Chain A
Amino acid sequence: MPGEKGNLQKILEQGAFSVSAEIGPPMGADASVVIKKAQELKGVVDAANITDNQTAVVRMSSIAASYLSSMNGVEPVVQMTCRDRNRIAIQSDLLGAYALGLKNLLVLSGDHQSFGNHPQSKNVFDVDSIQLLYSLRKMKEEGVFMGGSKCKSPAEFFLGATVNPFADPEELQMIRLRKKINAGAQFVQTQAIYDVAKFAEWMEKVRGLGLHKKAYILAGIVVNKSLKSIEMTQIVPGMLVPCELVERMRAAGPGNYDSEGVGIALDLIEEIRKIEGVSGIHIMAIGWESIVPTLVARAGLLPRPAIE
């Protein structure tokens, strides 16, 4: 029903600790890939992000895969980047998504196309992520399109944004978070957290500004399956992975990397849950989605709360 709130929003509003994950759509038109991943996550998470051509690699559209996910028991968080569509296409696609019953939307800038499999392409960036959040809030609250004309049946998404607590320049990134929330973000998913101490310091600043009361902060967790994957994560710009964690993985030895990866993620979840102002976790098990049920169960986060 239009106007009715989605699962994720209800869970957060009732004060429960939310759990979300990610479903990466396939690089093809096979619906069964999405359906299988959704079935694995059903009952395990409150919602799943469906990525929008992540790392600028062409995949099944986020909206189509979100619909498949919703039909198979997992509430999706549609992702929309500013890279590939102008304001006409974005609004049109989002009206369609909302008409299909999709309730949650995560707005992102989008990785530059030079990273993907179509580096020859033209990018768009007609609007940036903050301008898009702002205009979607206006559509929701005032029933207007970006161009100013009336929209009779606006899309009323539960709006989300991303934040990287470890990106540069720190002071400006915090200004940007404030802007995202002012623009209309109701929930904020963070970049993967490995350095809990640094994240706790950041959360202190977030609380100091009262931002945790204006938007739900969902902490990002990456589960690493191998020594190589955590080593690679460590060198990604904007990722902060303490050397102790890499050493811990190494010490576990080959054959135990996957269980150690889960162990590290469980410890991170436990520590992060204690931090005031964190409303949920967002698990990014890239290429290892099947581990999510185990992780959520072992973190003591099952069964998922019923919606009041």
Chain B
Amino acid sequence: MIVAEQKNIDEIRDSLEGFKSAVVAACGTCVTVCMAGGEKEALRLAAVLEIGARERGVQFSADVICITRQCDMEFLAEAEDKLLAAECILSLGCGAGVQFLAEKFPSKVVIPGLNTEFIGVNRGLGYWTEMCQGCGDCLLAKTGGVCPVARCSKSNFNGPCGGSALGKCEINEDTDCAWQLIYDRMKRLDRLEELLEIEGARDWRTSRDGGPRAACREDVR
């Protein structure tokens, strides 16, 4: 899923400067699961903003709307009445959601309430780690199911750098060395010899480097 975190409250307040009200738009997908932009977080943020405004003697009201998926026009259309009436929209969707709202409601200011971070997994209560960078050319079949693009700090394709120590990455002790993980898996699968093959230079055109990407499925269009 896409993992996001709520922005610092002061930054959100700064973005709302000059507005007397906002509709806080929650999103029911990834950001709900990672507890950053679901209904619960939207209600809490609306309350925090209102209380904060009251304490500072400023007039401000926040209403909440839950959108099933902000990255889908169908669900944005369902929210149209309420959002068209809003003074501004504070989206708790990921970057895609914020932009799709701005596209759908060209006359409205849409403010992001979250920082969108990565495609990752949940490893325990309140802890997520990055697993995929969406490079567009998956090589997990060759690396024992551990991604060196996303999980090696240097995106090394041919083994660990000299900074791998005791299974950890040189950048910090909390980060596993992806190549240690690849090694452990390949050894266990008795496929270590495969790592002797030189993995050639990547064609990054499938990644962001080829420009903004689009996926077009003729079979379902």
Taking a contact as CB atoms under 8 Å apart, the answer to whether A130 and B198 are in contact is: yes
- Tell me the smallest distance from the CB of A304 to a CB of chain B, in Å: 29
Q: Can you list 14 contacts pairing A with B, beta carbon distance less than 8 Å?
A: A109-B161, A114-B171, A125-B155, A126-B201, A127-B202, A130-B158, A131-B200, A131-B201, A134-B198, A134-B200, A172-B159, A176-B160, A179-B196, A238-B164
Taking a contact as CB atoms under 8 Å apart, the answer to whether B166 and A112 are in contact is: no
Starting from the known contacts A126-B201, A173-B159, A173-B160, 9 additional A-B residue pairs (CB-CB under 8 Å) come to A114-B172, A130-B198, A131-B199, A168-B160, A168-B180, A169-B160, A175-B196, A237-B163, A238-B164
A175-B161 CB under 8 A given contacts A87-B201, A131-B201, A134-B198: no
Across the interface, which residues of A come within 8 angstroms of B167, CB to CB? 168-169
Q: Mark B171-190, 1 if CB is under 8 A from A, else 0.
A: 11000010110011001000
Residues of A within 8 A of B (CB-CB), count: 38
Q: Mark A228-243, 1 if CB is under 8 A from B, else 0.
A: 0000000001100000
Give A285 to B154 CA distance when docked, in angstroms: 27
Taking a contact as CB atoms under 8 Å apart, the answer to whether A112 and B154 are in contact is: yes
Q: Mark B139-170, 1 if CB is under 8 A from A, else 0.
A: 00000000000000111111111111111101
Residue of B whose beta carbon sits closest to that of A237 = B165
- Tell me the smallest distance from the CB of A193 to a CB of chain B, in Å: 14
| Chain B contact residues, CB within 8 Å of chain A | 153-168, 170-172, 177, 179-180, 183-184, 187, 192, 195-196, 198-202, 204
Taking a contact as CB atoms under 8 Å apart, the answer to whether A169 and B180 are in contact is: yes
Residue of B whose beta carbon sits closest to that of A128 = B156
Taking a contact as CB atoms under 8 Å apart, the answer to whether B164 and A168 are in contact is: yes
Across the interface, which residues of A come within 8 angstroms of B201, CB to CB? 87, 126-127, 131, 134-135, 146
Taking a contact as CB atoms under 8 Å apart, the answer to whether A175 and B198 are in contact is: no
Across the interface, which residues of B come within 8 angstroms of A112, CB to CB? 153-154, 163, 170-171
Q: Identify which of B163, B167, B168, B204 gathers the most chain A CB atoms within 10 Å of its CB.
A: B163
Taking a contact as CB atoms under 8 Å apart, the answer to whether B154 and A83 are in contact is: yes
Across the interface, which residues of B come within 8 angstroms of A125, CB to CB? 154-156
| Chain A contact residues, CB within 8 Å of chain B | 82-83, 87, 109-112, 114-115, 123, 125-131, 134-135, 146, 162-164, 167-169, 171-173, 175-176, 178-179, 182-183, 191, 237-238
Give A120 to B128 CA distance when docked, in angstroms: 23
- Tell me the smallest distance from the CB of B139 to a CB of chain A, in Å: 13
Taking a contact as CB atoms under 8 Å apart, the answer to whether A168 and B166 are in contact is: yes
- Tell me the smallest distance from the CB of A181 to a CB of chain B, in Å: 11
Taking a contact as CB atoms under 8 Å apart, the answer to whether A169 and B162 are in contact is: no
Q: Which of B165, B172, B198 contacts A182 (CB 8 A)?
A: B198
Q: Identify which of B158, B165, B200, B204 gathers the most chain A CB atoms within 10 Å of its CB.
A: B158
Give A129 to B162 CA distance when docked, in angstroms: 11
Taking a contact as CB atoms under 8 Å apart, the answer to whether A162 and B158 are in contact is: no
Taking a contact as CB atoms under 8 Å apart, the answer to whether A128 and B162 are in contact is: no
Taking a contact as CB atoms under 8 Å apart, the answer to whether B171 and A130 are in contact is: no
- Tell me the smallest distance from the CB of B208 to a CB of chain A, in Å: 12
A131-B157 CB under 8 A given contacts A168-B167, A238-B163: yes
Residue of A whose beta carbon sits closest to that of B162 = A164
What are the 9 closest A-B residue pairs judged by CB atoms, nearest first?
A: A237-B165, A176-B159, A130-B158, A109-B161, A164-B162, A131-B201, A172-B183, A128-B156, A125-B155
Across the interface, which residues of A come within 8 angstroms of B164, CB to CB? 167-169, 238
Residue of B whose beta carbon sits closest to that of A239 = B165
Give A134 to B167 CA distance when docked, in angstroms: 27
Give A182 to B192 CA distance when docked, in angstroms: 17
Across the interface, which residues of A come within 8 angstroms of B158, CB to CB? 128-131, 176, 179
- Tell me the smallest distance from the CB of B25 to a CB of chain A, in Å: 31
Across the interface, which residues of B come within 8 angstroms of A183, CB to CB? 198
Taking a contact as CB atoms under 8 Å apart, the answer to whether A172 and B163 are in contact is: no
A172-B165 CB under 8 A given contacts A128-B156, A128-B158: no
